[in-house]
Amino acid sequence: MVEASAINEMFAGIAGRYDLANHLLSAGQDFYWRKKLAQEVLRSQPRRVVDLATGSGDCVFSIAKALNGSAHVTGMDFCPPMLEQAERKKKALLEKKPKWTTCLREVDFIQGDCLELPFSDGEVDVLTIAFGLRNLEDRARGLREMRRVLRKPGGVLLVLEFSQPDTWVRPFYYLYLNYLIPVIARLATGKPDAYRYLGATIGKFPPKDALEKEFLEAGFDQVTSQGLSFSIVAIHRAEVLGS
């Protein structure tokens, strides 16, 4: 795993064009994936939601729209330039789209580290993390921290992450991932190395069943997963059922 400081520097370098690159590289599927994640959050009817590795805040905005002011939603990231992008987007939404006033009244952004979450035991109803679990320097430690801050019982961790796609899709997907994405990323951001890193981490990331075992080892009680877009990505739902 790449050290956290290197990941921080890498994402700081692409913060300004991060959203554009995501839309292009996913062919717009990222909007659909975030909507599905927000629907999963809504199922739990939470009062306190934290989106980890929030980046430029797109997941926070999707979740806040689905909850419509009924819960406090915090976006947390350890990369200040990404948080600056999120704050700018929040300000723009409030200025240009008054209908967002209710959705965003309970939204804030903070800097923090997933390995040392700045929350008390059992403080959070729902944690989300989208495309950030792969980047943790110590994934087992990060999952234990997530388990610690979730409400007991009833807390839910929702992980939106790249997965191992359906068998027939894999040859085409890995061709795109390893050869085409760096080219598109260079045009979109001028930083192809960040997306070569993306391809490398996706290839090494555990499939759904292996990741389920990691959740259980971290202390979660029940884990399910749902593949999206031919299982190119998956939403993993890890629940805390007991104290």
> Given this model, what pLDDT does residue 197 score?
62
**CATH number, domain containing residue 38:** 3.40.50.150
Task: Specify the range with the lowest mean pLDDT, choosing from 57-66, 71-80, 204-213, 214-223.
Answer: 204-213
Would you place residue 170 in the very low, low, confident or very high pLDDT band (cuts 50, 70, 90)? confident
23 pLDDT more than 70: no
Would you place residue 167 in the very low, low, confident or very high pLDDT band (cuts 50, 70, 90)? confident
Is residue 189 assigned to a domain? no
Give the chain's mean pLDDT.
Answer: 87
Q: Whole domain around residue 104: which residue ranges?
A: 4-168+207-239
Is residue 179 assigned to a domain? no
Is residue 146 assigned to a domain? yes
126 pLDDT more than 80: yes
Q: How many domains does one find in the chain?
A: 1
Q: What is the dihedral of CA 195, 201, 130, 182, to 10 degrees?
A: 10
Q: What is the dihedral of CA 156, 158, 164, 167, to 10 degrees?
A: 80
pLDDT more than 70, % of the chain: 82
For residue 7, the one-letter residue type is I
pLDDT digits (tens, 9 = 90+) for 33-81: 999 999 999 999 999 999 999 999 999 999 999 999 999 999 999 999 9
Is residue 47 assigned to a domain? yes
Question: Mean pLDDT over residues 215-233, rounded?
Answer: 94
Would you place residue 139 in the very low, low, confident or very high pLDDT band (cuts 50, 70, 90)? very high
pTM equals 0.88
